Structure 1
């Protein structure tokens, strides 16, 4: 989610030399780079809404791309040959960083416990969890008998699933979900063996250790089990890679019964069971709109019924609590959301009543319920806080005043609400972490407010939080908005305007970049690099309106915010022009491509992982998995001339300029259904054709998809590559 080096400028010493003089630099000449691949040009003229554009590299998209996702071996030979040439070139340019990559990888591995175990999850007579054996890439799924009335184990471990054994048969292996039945007899899991996110669901009999039902094919990986342990509900992924239908089948095999057929190609689907085990819930919707359908768990073969009919522009989710639903919604203009209640028997909008009123600046993120307590997570001033409420206090009014409150005294931190552990018990689990503080797992008693520390993220090679410093700054955007920036740096770093910096950004879909602990970031920080995250609009770090101000017609705010953050950090003495490496992935790769076109002079390098850069073509291709679902995010260039013109004005692939660009590394995955392999490949080819500077590097993982390599250690090799590229490009810019 890295690339370049050749030459005498290989970075093998740990710190970067921050003050190379012009005289020193003039004494050396870097060796010539190897010759870059030259992609053939085959211009295709595209006409759309009375507008014309030319795409010379459209041939890189295999016309049978759907088959390629499911079977990469059928990729057209000329495309495979070109991608291999790109990989070879990237490896040659970055050959000098191989020792550095190895050092970085060893450091990152050294910060991960060789053997590790999760905090167990209690469920009835068992404690369930994950355990990594020494140096294993994948976990064991395990359980132990539970001591009556306690959270301690009372018997030997039972291995439910050995993921290492399953993964050994494949070059890529990933589980989307795994769950046991309510009667604890069967274990169900969804596996992807090529990175295409097309999952196979398997059912294992825990008594015999054998698979005991025909596999479910072509699933999204999302499923749920009826509380009576008799039925499996699963979501079908169609040939366009979209979740289009929900089926129910007998757990041990039998006919699939269609229970929901999604007619809107822009809607996602999800399914789950309430913590009370009374309701099975289907949710359908996009980033703007959704609705929930309910099936009583006591009658799992019943057809789903709509709880509250869909209203365009409104979102809601239901959490079952006692005899009611807690409704988390933005209805009535509650941009940061509010809580309402609805009777269990009549959950439609006509029966919603206010529970926790909307309060601007208090962005409500999620709700978890136990029998006698309720918990919710909200974001305020960029940080997350947890509130808990007893059943008695729920009826006393002004519930925020009566609720218990969990927060931390740090400038930037994250609390993650894992949820109520067991519906009939008052215990809640959450994680606390910050850029300097490793993750802490706590169990919290909602009756008394007492917390029990269950685990601290171990860093075997050592970590001293006091040696680092976290800061939260605010950069003024072009329109006056104040954009948060989170910094991690060595304590005592001099603000002399010469520090190297990695500036990360995302800014889409309302996804927040949390102020969390990263063992990989420490490798850069320990080398004198300041690690910064720009919380640009399009995320929700400052509330849901922060997202709305960075999407669709206002999308360019994300790009100008990132540039404003870079310039603010320069002005405040944290870094300097061409001392910054920008980094982002997926929709954050769009951000990288846009800022490369808009302000290339600021950056020494840009690392773009699975970058969404061919926007105009992708959002005009209705066959692609995410095109219709993402029209609310970007606009529809097939029907809306204004949306076409807006996307055409910033699409990275369509706005490359004949000026000097920094070194750019684009990483992709051949089986990626979200950002297809041809986007980074086309972008790099066009950069070489039209831009100056660089070099421009492309590396396609021929055995993985959107998330890169699988395995807890293998994925670190790609992280090491990105960091080596960052350090290499900083050195190149100095020289």
Structure 2
């Protein structure tokens, strides 16, 4: 493998790359042609004709055959990049410290940490009693557990208060349907019971024998039931503690940091409701904290005689903090601790014996605020740039003045920092190592710029590029966004991204509406009947980057996954001329059909995000932007679509049908490629190295379009 080192001048890259490579001829390779079997889909008197509806039949031999032919076509079309993909994989893998370990944290007399061994793709979960100098105890070796499995994921690892038993969940299909098991940590043996079809998490009562867990609806995969299990008993006889009958809500269970309460949550996009009960024994006597009221969102944390409540009550769009006695939890008893602020989003809180730590966002930037309960101190941690990410990490200990938080920036590897909230002194416990011998953060330039939206608003954009990259319109640029569910894409460091930056790419994160980068109103302005703002924001950022000579339409690329894949589908319909290539990962592109099918996982819980198309107003609006419904004859850019056959979030048939229709309607001489991982789901391949192979495929697609061959 020839490593493409940091060059003295990125212009050298383009001098060599603008010469056409001698590729094998691919024009004679014909893509698979999906048979058209028109199906009429009628709603509100409107008929949509879906030629590829037959692909929805999971496990049909015809469907499997078509997907396999798509994979064969992809392999043939990218055969000339296979060696380069291997080089990229080895390059990215070479930056990772394989024999790595997390920073240990102490909980209930044990130090816990995760480590990796050289050549192994899965984590080893360990602990040491009392002191880090003591003998290591391996709780779980995922490498052993994953043997013989094409996919493996462990989740929900939790230990009883007497430190003797571990509960954990395992998924070997990638449908996010976990089986909960129990392990005796003194003997290493597994208990006989298996609890199927769960979220993977189990919450221990303080009696060390009772656990609470969430079970999923087997068809929709909505977590709608909370059960109580007594260790050593038959799971089929577990007691149903709570059932969520509203199909737009999902349920979950956790223990308060104080360890005093078991809390059952029930949430939809717009509404929250909690129940709580003593954690001392396996009770089923849960009390409603505050009954659900449409539009009222809240979350709760316990401290001494009060619950602290983050809420949007009384039009607190960016949320405020309130408290209420544990004996009177209804909203009429809530009193204000931190008021609502129009320019600051309240994101989270961490409670300590003497301190309240508040996570905020102001003008898009993370803020960590430290407040003493006795009001003797109130200050913010200092951060000195505009392209960083900072957040509290594992802070299990309640009686401590030490806060752990993480920090990284677009050009700065991740650090775990220990901060003394009394003395305000900090200690870096660990900084991510970037191997390979040639990483220097000073070689990369970070910027935050603002693009003007079509309606006059300002859209923030975080950018990084190599210092030798010229901003004269010739550089290739990869523009990323997500833009849904209020999920914010913070500007964080990536070792894999270096493989693009070192080859002359600029990387830009468009903080479009639909996320919460600029507060809750930024999210509200990019959902439901305002969803198109997400798409036009992305396009307006693209136009701004071209106008400012960061790139040109011949060298601009777009990337998004899942709901961000919907964004990709929308922009290639709305402004295909702006992009030379698009990466669409597990894309949600058949919006109307999916949102009309309440048997599909997640559909009913999504109505408050996208709208319910059973209402004609939402039906018409969705239909006006749904990528699949709006794929008409036009010159599409080069597109690479990926999916997982077992995806529970976005079913494989959405991208499969979309690709078939794109090929049928595309008027340009461009590539539309489709790769289906037949063993994976929404998150792609399992294991830290297998995932790199998928990134290498994405990067090879982009670099190939730029004629960059090494």
Instruction: Tell me which interval the TM-score lies in, with the shorter structure as reference length.
Output: over 0.9
Structure 2 CA distance for partners of 1:132 and 1:630, relative to 1, 3 Å:
same
Is the aligned partner of 1:707 residue 2:683? yes
In structure 2, the residue matched to 1:288 is 270
Q: Is the CA contact 1:278–1:297 (under 8 Å) kept in the aligned structure 2?
A: yes
Q: Flag the 1:183–1:457 CA change in 2: closer, same or farther, 3 A.
A: same
The residue aligned with 2:100 is 116
**Aligned: 1:244 with 2:234:** no
Structure 1 contact 33–93 (Cα < 8 Å) conserved: no
Say whether residues 1:545 and 2:521 are aligned partners: yes
Report the counterpart of residue 321 of structure 1 in structure 2: 303
Give the C-alpha shift of residue 303 in structure 1. Answer: 2.3
Which residue of the partner structure matches residue 253 of structure 1? 233
- Is 1:85 the counterpart of 2:69? The answer is yes
Instruction: Go from structure 1 to structure 2 and tell me whether the alpha carbon gap of 1:44 and 1:321 turns closer, same or farther (over 3 Å shift).
Output: same
Map 1:451-530 onto structure 2 (within 5 A).
451-462=426-437, 463-530=439-506
Q: Please, what TM-score do these two structures have when normalized by structure 1? A: 0.92
CA contact (8 A) 1:368 1:419 kept: no
Deviation (angstroms), 1:28:
10
- Aligned residue runs from structure 1 range 520-669, under 5 A: 520-638=496-614, 640-669=615-644
Instruction: Tell me how far apart the structure 1 counterparts of residues 355 and 409 of structure 2 sit (CA, whole Å).
Output: 27
Give, in angstroms, the shift of residue 57 of structure 1.
0.3
Query: 1:284, 1:716 → 2: CA distance?
Result: 36
Q: Is the partner of 1:350 in helix, strand or coil?
A: helix
In structure 2, the partner of 1:730 is: 706
Q: Which residue of 1 aligns with 2:32?
A: 37
1:111-510 matched pairs, under 5 angstroms: 111-147=95-131, 153-239=132-218, 240-254=220-234, 255-393=237-375, 402-462=377-437, 463-510=439-486
8 A Cα contact 1:421 1:428, kept in partner: no
Query: Structure 2 stretches of 5 or more lacking a match?
Result: none
* In 2: Cα distance, 1:351 partner to 1:419 partner: 31
SS at match of 1:117: coil
Deviations 1:365-387 (A, max 9, x none): 11111222211111112111111
| 1:505, distance to aligned residue in structure 2 (A) | 1.0
Is residue 687 from structure 1 mapped to residue 662 from structure 2 by the alignment? yes
Check conservation: 1:420, 1:426, Cα contact below 8 A: no
1:346 offset after TM fit, Å? Answer: 1.1
1:668-698 Cα distance to aligned partner (Å, 9 max, x none): 1111110001011000000111122232111
Distance 1:301 1:27 in 2: 71
Q: Where do 5+ consecutive residues of structure 1 fail to align?
A: 1-10, 66-74, 148-152, 397-401
1:500·1:530 contact (CA, 8 Å) conserved in 2? yes
- Equivalenced residues, count: 698
Alpha-carbon separation, structure 1, partners of 2:580 and 2:492 = 26
Distance 1:88 1:285 in 2: 43
Cα distance, 1:440 vs structure 2: 0.6
Quote the RMSD (CA, aligned, Å). Answer: 2.0
| CA deviation vs aligned residue, 1:409-438 (integer Å, no higher than 9, x gap) | 012101021153301222221100001000
Which residue of structure 1 aligns with residue 645 of structure 2?
670
Q: Tell me, in whole angstroms, the C-alpha distance in 2 between the residues paired with 1:645 and 1:528.
A: 43
> Whose RCO is larger (CA < 8 A, sep 6+)?
1
- The CA deviation string for residues 560-597 of structure 1, in whole angstroms up to 9 with x for no partner, is 00000000001111000121111110000000000010
Q: Hey, what's the Cα distance between the residues in 1 that align with 2:509 and 2:109?
A: 44
Tell me how far apart the structure 1 counterparts of residues 109 and 201 of structure 2 sit (CA, whole Å): 26
- Mapped partners of 2:72, 2:548: distance in 1: 41
State the alpha-carbon separation in 2 of the partners of residues 473 and 90 from structure 1: 37
Q: Structure 1 residue runs of 4+, over 4 Å off? A: 11-17, 19-22, 24-31
8 Å contact kept, 1:281–1:292: yes
Secondary structure in structure 2 of the residue aligned to 1:354: strand
How far, CA to CA, are the matches of 1:536 and 1:195 in structure 2? Answer: 30
State TM-score, norm by structure 2: 0.95
Which whole-Å deviations, capped at 9, do the CAs of 1:236-272 have from their partners, x for residues lacking one?
1112211111101113334311000110111122211
SS at structure 2 position matched to 1:210:
coil
1:188 offset after TM fit, Å?
1.2
Contact 1:213 1:251 in 2 (8 A): no
